[in-house]
Amino acid sequence: MNISHQFKQCYLSPAKALTLAVLFSHASFCVAQDLEPRSYTNIPIGMNFLVVGAAHSEGDLSPAPSAPIENADLTINAGVIGYAHTFALAGRSSKIDMTASRICYKGSADFQGEQVSADRCGYGDPNIRLSWNFYGAPALKPQDFAAWQQGVVVGTSLQLTLPIGSYDKDKLINSGANRWVFRPGIGMSHRLGDWYYDLVASVRFYGDNDEYFNNVELKQEPQYTMQGHLIYIFNRGHWLSLNANFYFGGETQKNNIDSLDSQENSRFGLTYSAPINRSNSIKLYASTGVVTQVGSDFDTIGAVWQYIF
């Protein structure tokens, strides 16, 4: 039996952490599992960034907390491309970034007592995000940025997920989610010598999916995420980050009936960034589930290449 018509949607929610040395945090599979070191740090204005990345995730990965499946064993491979531009807003550094993704998934699960499988690809829902560091991050051109010393930086952001990815209402697993997602966030970073630490909080507000599988209307409560990162700076653009998060909430309703699938999950990861030359850098990352109440007991590895122009 092919799972193409039986699985619920899972969409790549790629993260987009922009810094001078590396633009994007790694791509995250499913909802609210982001680990985004250096999301709120000052960067020079008037710069453009192009990013290409790949990610691989496998394990007991539930496509969504309310999917009617058991013993899921999925492998997901994704390619991500992104662009960002930095500019001044009210005298402070800001950026706008956007990403698009191509996702391939393969695996099996138990559905209504029968083992089913899936193997196909699709396009994820694209993301657009505006970020503004409103405290401690003056808007500086690259030639002035080298002499600037960071203390405490505080910023805010708003990310919008557009429901235009691959979606088929007759299938339970889709690369797109067929719903809008609004994600406001706030965060801070602080440098102490060769060390940084970041603290980030965000919430996702979900639109309704009126064309969910089997003619069901799908609703979801807000989901809250908290992140912390401890980063050691070897030299400019060369750093290592220890990452952890905790996310909770997000209970779904099908035709106004509670699914009792509220999440309380946590992930742990490492990120390593290294410059290649003045215009190019590369980042490697890995993460795993450490508290896996619902659908987070999987491992992810990935790599990102960035070009600055």
Q: Name residue 265's amino acid.
A: N
Backbone φ and ψ for 108, nearest 5 degrees, come out as: -145, 165
Tokens coding 168: 């088929």
Domains of the chain: 3-308 (2.40.160.40)
**d(C-alpha 237, C-alpha 251), whole Å:** 39
- The residue with greater pLDDT, 11 or 159, is 159
Least trusted range by pLDDT, from 56-70, 78-92, 269-283? 56-70
- Chain mean pLDDT for the chain: 84
Q: Are 32 and 10 in contact (CB under 8 A)?
A: no
Who's near 113: CB < 8 A, 6+ residues apart?
A: none
42 neighbors 110 (Cβ within 8 angstroms): no
pLDDT above 70 covers what percent of the chain?
Answer: 83
Stronger pLDDT, 50 or 146, i.e. the higher one: 50
Identity of residue 263: Q
Q: Tell whether the model's pLDDT for residue 130 goes beyond 60.
A: yes
Provide the 3-class DSSP secondary structure of residue 251.
coil
